Amino acid sequence: MKYIFKQKKEFTIQKKVISIIAILASVFTIGLLIPKDGQIKTEDSLLKNLSNRNNIFSTLTENPPFANIGQYQELLFLPAKESNLIGIGYHQAENRKALEMIPKDSFKAIRVDDPSKFNPNKRSVIMAPRGRGSPICSAADIAVKRDSIIYAPVSGKIVKIKEYSLYGKYLDYHIEIRPNKLSNIRVAIIHIKDLKIEVGQEVNKGITELGKVRSLSKYMHTQISDYYGPNVEHIHIQINPAEEPEEKIRS
């Protein structure tokens, strides 16, 4: 009798556990179907919701954060799939007011002034100073495979897209993003072609495509090519206070 009673008790506990799991699953499903405004979502919007969650997970795995923005807790995410990354070269921005980037996790770097002593298999490096008077890590040249898709490194709004001549010779685009949480700064990006964004557009870090990396190695020598080999292409990122002139943004 004691054995039968014990079996019944265990069975009752199992039923309760199964019921709790079923309730939690129902709550999760309702959470997907009913947003904060209380309106029931359609099948299409539900699929979109699930897709967005998958995209967020993909961002964390394929476009990881590579640096912090100065003293802020805002992160800069890799603007290309990690599989397309060749390396990151931190250096001095031409703009002395540019904010310092703080390399993060596996992207932390040491300073190597002599490129011949650098191991190009390393993911990142602090390149030799340029005598510009700005912080040593106030800009990042991110070398990627040719024609790599470039993604937004932060979530925010596109506030500027301007065509200009790099060093007065080469056609290029200057793009600025105002981060959602930091309206007093601008994330400036150059060396992109085939733009897919417009001014006023909201962008999501690691998800929104900005365009493709511009091929400049055939026209000009770049400092990062001294570290990661000739003919590497790169985009340039730096963080400026709002309303800084675009002519102070150079590779």
Label residue 166 by pLDDT band (50, 70, 90).
confident
What is the 8-class DSSP label of residue 68?
E
Q: Residue 72 above 70 pLDDT? A: yes
Question: Rounded mean pLDDT of 16-43?
Answer: 48
Label residue 2 by pLDDT band (50, 70, 90).
very low
What is the pLDDT at residue 251?
Answer: 54
What is the pLDDT at residue 46?
Answer: 42
Q: Where in the chain is CATH 2.70.70.10?
A: 65-248
Q: Which CATH number fits domain 65-248: 3.30.1540.10, 3.30.70.3280, 2.70.70.10, 3.40.50.720?
A: 2.70.70.10
pLDDT digit string, tens, across residues 88-135: 999 999 999 999 999 998 899 999 999 999 999 999 999 999 888 899
Amino acid at 203: V
What is the pLDDT at residue 215?
Answer: 92
What contacts 154, CB < 8 A, 6 or more positions away? 74, 75, 76, 77, 177, 179, 180, 187, 203, 205
Lowest mean pLDDT among 165-174, 195-204, 231-240: 165-174
Alpha helices in the chain (DSSP H): 2-33, 43-62, 223-228
Q: What percent of the chain has pLDDT over 90?
A: 60
Helix (H, G, I), strand (E, B) or coil at 219: coil
- 218 class by beta-carbon count within 10 Å (0-12 exposed, 13-18 middle, 19+ buried): exposed
Question: Rounded mean pLDDT of 44-62?
Answer: 50
Q: Residue 245 above 80 pLDDT? A: no
Q: Residue 22 above 80 pLDDT? A: no
d(CA 190, CA 211): 11
What is the pLDDT at residue 168?
Answer: 84
Question: Rounded mean pLDDT of 183-192?
Answer: 96
pLDDT digit string, tens, across residues 213-243: 999 888 888 999 999 999 899 999 999 999 7
Question: Rounded mean pLDDT of 140-149?
Answer: 97
